[in-house]
Amino acid sequence: MFCLHSKSRVFPRADCHIFAGPLCLELSVSDSSTAFVEVGGSLEPLRSPFLMSLGERVRNLRSRKGMTRKAVAMAADVSERHLANLEYGTGNVSVLVLLQVSHALQCSLAELLGDISTSTPEWLLIRELLGKRTESDLRRARVQLTEMFGEGGDAASRRTRIALIGLRGAGKTTLGQRLADDLGFPFIELSREIEKFAGCQISEIHNLYGANAYRRYERRALEEAIQIYPEAIIATPGGLVSDSANFNLLLTHCTTVWLQASANDHMARVAAQGDLRPMAASPEAMEDLKRILEGRSAFYSKAEISINTSAQDVDASFKRLNTEVRKVIQWVE
């Protein structure tokens, strides 16, 4: 959809449909179409910065492969004119067409779209080196890179700085506070620290400032906790693992423990705390929760310790947590 000033006129190709309103024109444009806008009495192709950058990457990749536009068009099974529109940032192409072009250029769709790992030759060589490695190999590489670049922090403090990760309702606050009391460590609930930095509740941060601002506050709160507390039990927000920079900081400076629970237990525990908003907000809340849990499990599993709190009661979960954490701490003593 293109929203233009009411005095502007848009001229799509003949195979497009125009729905005119008082202030905006909505174009239903086919994959091979090019839209034009009237500027100063003349028609110029409607170009966006993203499409222009995309077109430049396609041209550069084609040049790197030593392929003519005609050869790429034939390999991608698209018209040469369509490919020309794509290269000059005037074509409104579908994802499937981009996939066909990426196959023709023998590159990934990410490289075509401009993923950072494709931005320089060194990035491409590193990606090729790591592309077929196992998860355990990649973890070793990440740890070694962290040490190589001096971002690992103090090893002793990392062992005594325990971070609990997992979805809301896993038991991070209940078990974390109990563990902190037993070890004589400070208990830090990162969500409360975020609210202190922002001067408002987390829901207001999202509503007023957006997700990016929330992640910045989350980063500041985590950095301060790491700087101030060499010994601490930190209960982290469930979504922290969604931000790779913040999660990497956590993994680098803390021993992480994943408190697992079933989706049913997560939901029931939140409701038991008196918060019925998840169920009230959506009749599909349970399915949404299951999808979130499934999507984050691969990140949560990066923790050194994993404890299933659904498989046992609170006392048994605490006993297991206490035992596992003390094993880690003993390496420092």
* For residue 142, pLDDT beyond 60: yes
Q: Are residues 224 and 165 in the same domain?
A: yes
Q: How far apart are CA 187 and CA 200, in angstroms?
A: 21
Model pLDDT, residue 42: 62
Cβ atoms of residues 302 and 139 within 8 Å: yes
Number of domains the chain contains: 3
CATH number (domain holding residue 75): 1.10.260.40
pLDDT, mean of residues 12-24: 38
Share the mean pLDDT of the chain.
82
pLDDT, mean of residues 321-329: 95
Position of tokens 């830090």? 188
Q: Are residues 220 and 168 in the same domain?
A: yes
Q: What is the length of the chain?
A: 333
**Domain that includes residue 77, residue range:** 49-124
Per-residue pLDDT tens over the stretch 87-134: 888 877 787 888 888 888 888 887 888 777 777 889 888 988 998 899
Q: How far apart are CA 85 and CA 77, in angstroms?
A: 15
pLDDT band at 43 (very low <50, low <70, confident <90, very high): low
- Would residue 136 count as lying in a domain? no
- Would residue 295 count as lying in a domain? yes
pTM over 0.75: no
Model pLDDT, residue 331: 63
Q: Do β-strands 255-260 and 305-308 pair in parallel, antiparallel, or remain unpaired?
A: parallel
* For residue 284, pLDDT beyond 80: no
Collapsing DSSP to helix, strand or coil, 177 comes out as helix
Q: Which of 103, 124, 145 is the last residue of a domain?
A: 124
Model pLDDT, residue 283: 62
Q: How far apart are CA 292 and CA 294, in angstroms?
A: 5
Q: Are residues 198 and 246 in the same domain?
A: yes
Give the neighbor-by-neighbor strand order of the sheet with 42-45: 10-11, 36-39, 42-45
- Would residue 270 count as lying in a domain? yes
Model pLDDT, residue 20: 36
- Would residue 40 count as lying in a domain? yes
Q: Which of 72, 107, 124 is the last residue of a domain?
A: 124
Q: Where are the alpha helices (DSSP H) in the chain?
A: 49-65, 69-76, 80-87, 95-104, 109-113, 121-130, 135-148, 155-160, 172-183, 190-198, 202-209, 211-228, 244-253, 263-272, 277-281, 285-300, 314-329
Cβ atoms of residues 77 and 100 within 8 Å: yes
Position of tokens 């409104």? 92
Model pLDDT, residue 281: 55
Q: Are residues 95 and 244 in the same domain?
A: no
Model pLDDT, residue 319: 96
Q: Are residues 215 and 171 in the same domain?
A: yes
User: Which of 43-47, 90-94, 208-212, 297-301 has the lowest average pLDDT?
Assistant: 43-47
Q: How far apart are CA 111 and CA 118, in angstroms?
A: 5
Angle between helices 244-253 and 211-228 (to 10 degrees): 10
Model pLDDT, residue 155: 80
* For residue 193, pLDDT beyond 90: yes
In the 8-state DSSP scheme, what is residue 189?
A: E
Q: How far apart are CA 320 and CA 160, in angstroms?
A: 17
* For residue 194, pLDDT beyond 80: yes
Q: How far apart are CA 9 and CA 240, in angstroms?
A: 46
Q: Are residues 118 and 250 in the same domain?
A: no
Q: How far apart are CA 150 and CA 76, in angstroms?
A: 45
Which range, 74-83, 106-115, 301-310, has the best average confidence (pLDDT)?
301-310
In the 8-state DSSP scheme, what is residue 255?
A: E
pLDDT band at 9 (very low <50, low <70, confident <90, very high): very low
- Would residue 300 count as lying in a domain? yes
